[in-house]
Amino acid sequence: MSLSFLILSSTIRSSTYKTIKSVVGGMERLDVFSRCLLNLVRWNRRMDRDINLLIYMSHLEEQKVLIIPISDKIDSIQNEIDSTHILLDILSSPKEYNAEYNDKSFEQLLNDLAIDSAIFYLTPEGLFIDEQKEFLQTNHSLCFVLGSQHDLTEEQERQMSAVNYIPISLGDKNYLASHVITIVCNHLSYLNDT
């Protein structure tokens, strides 16, 4: 059973020179993703699923996805500094972590994912997650799409309709992307136990 989180970023670049100091200073808002990576590594220790972090780089000069399997290779991550170090390493040497870049449009990526995954779009305007219990339990592979420091643009929301997706809400509050991951994983682990 696979579980993927597809997070869009218009700021992350694949080949710019970045250091821990520049990331902590907010460069390309990579900090958002190092927190997501840290949370996913922690959930990977508790859940029996193949977890992937998919970063879609929507910057005009990028238009690519970086697929990061949350595997034993990155299980040493204990805190945000570790996850920032590893993320910088993955961006420059993806193969060492079984990660890969794929050049494709967001729409094409969605179409490819929809072949074997149910797609959920995380938005406060969606259907309440508690009411999707059956669908979340029965689907083999799940992919949750969410924004990073920004929501999806209107154009990206329009492109979402290329696939049959279910809009999912976690309530009225606006959560950080890393918190959204934790809430969804917590929900799924509860479903597995029932």
Ligand X SMILES: C[S@@+](CC[C@H](N)C(=O)[O-])C[C@H]1O[C@@H](n2cnc3c(N)ncnc32)[C@H](O)[C@@H]1O
Q: What is the binding site for ligand X (CB under 6 A)?
A: 122-124, 146-147, 149-151, 169-171, 173-177, 180
- The rounded distance, in Å, linking the Cα atoms of 44 and 91 is 21
What are φ and ψ of residue 73, in 5° steps? -60, -25
Least distance (Å) from ligand X to the CB of residue 192? 21
63: left (phi over 0), alpha (psi -120 to 50) or beta: left
Least distance (Å) from ligand X to the CB of residue 180? 4
Compare residues 97 and 183 and give the one whose CB is closer to ligand X.
183
Radius of gyration of the chain measured on its C-alpha atoms: 16
Least distance (Å) from ligand X to the CB of residue 173? 5
- Helical pair 30-44 and 80-92, crossing angle rounded to 10 deg: 110
Compare residues 20 and 176 and give the one whose CB is closer to ligand X.
176
Compare residues 128 and 190 and give the one whose CB is closer to ligand X.
128
Compare residues 87 and 177 and give the one whose CB is closer to ligand X.
177
Q: Say how many CA atoms lie within 13 Å of 45 toward its Cβ.
A: 11
Position closest to ligand X via CB? 147
Compare residues 51 and 184 and give the one whose CB is closer to ligand X.
184
Q: Say how many CA atoms lie within 13 Å of 58 toward its Cβ.
A: 18
Least distance (Å) from ligand X to the CB of residue 144? 9
What's the maximum distance between 2 C-alpha atoms anywhere in the chain? 46
Least distance (Å) from ligand X to the CB of residue 32? 8
